[in-house]
Amino acid sequence: MSNQAQSPNDKKKYDLEERTAKFGEEVIEFAKSFPKNPINITLIGQLVRSATSIGANYMEADAAESKKDFKHKIALCKKESKETKHWLRMIAKANPNKTDECRELWKEAQEFALIFSFILRPKKK
């Protein structure tokens, strides 16, 4: 199982292992920019867990022991991508001054969700 995906628009290869890792790193840096208060501590903790889990689960999928294991791990990547979008929305609500940054990270999480959905789609016979 390869960690390369084809973009349907420009046929350019993307290294999903690197892309998911960079996303996790961006979220960690983003998380450091928040004032510590009860709401932010909870929301940021959830965001960091879900966002960094995308890459961790992708690495597990890349090393899957079977097709079933691969699909399961990719499904977890999709689930964590969607959860990340939720936490970004909540953080934007709690911190209106961070809406633009949340929107950019949300877009990347959405792209991941679409990529993983595409990987999981049933193959036509």
pLDDT at residue 14, rounded to an integer: 67
**What are 2's two structure tokens?**
């390869």
Q: Could you read off the pLDDT of 112-123 as tens digits, one per residue?
A: 999 999 999 988
The domain limits of the chain are 14-120
Is 14-120 CATH 1.20.1440.60? yes
Q: Is the dihedral of CA 38, 108, 85, 50 positive or negative?
A: negative
How confident is residue 9, by pLDDT bands cut at 50, 70 and 90? very low
Q: What angle do CA 40, 75, 105 make, to 5 degrees?
A: 35
> Do residues 98 and 51 touch, judged by C-beta distance below 8 A?
no
**What are 42's two structure tokens?**
């909870």
Please state the rounded mean pLDDT for residues 18-31. Answer: 97
Q: Could you read off the pLDDT of 35-74 as tens digits, one per residue?
A: 999 999 999 999 999 999 999 999 999 999 999 999 999 9
Q: Could you read off the pLDDT of 79-100 as tens digits, one per residue?
A: 999 999 999 999 999 999 999 9
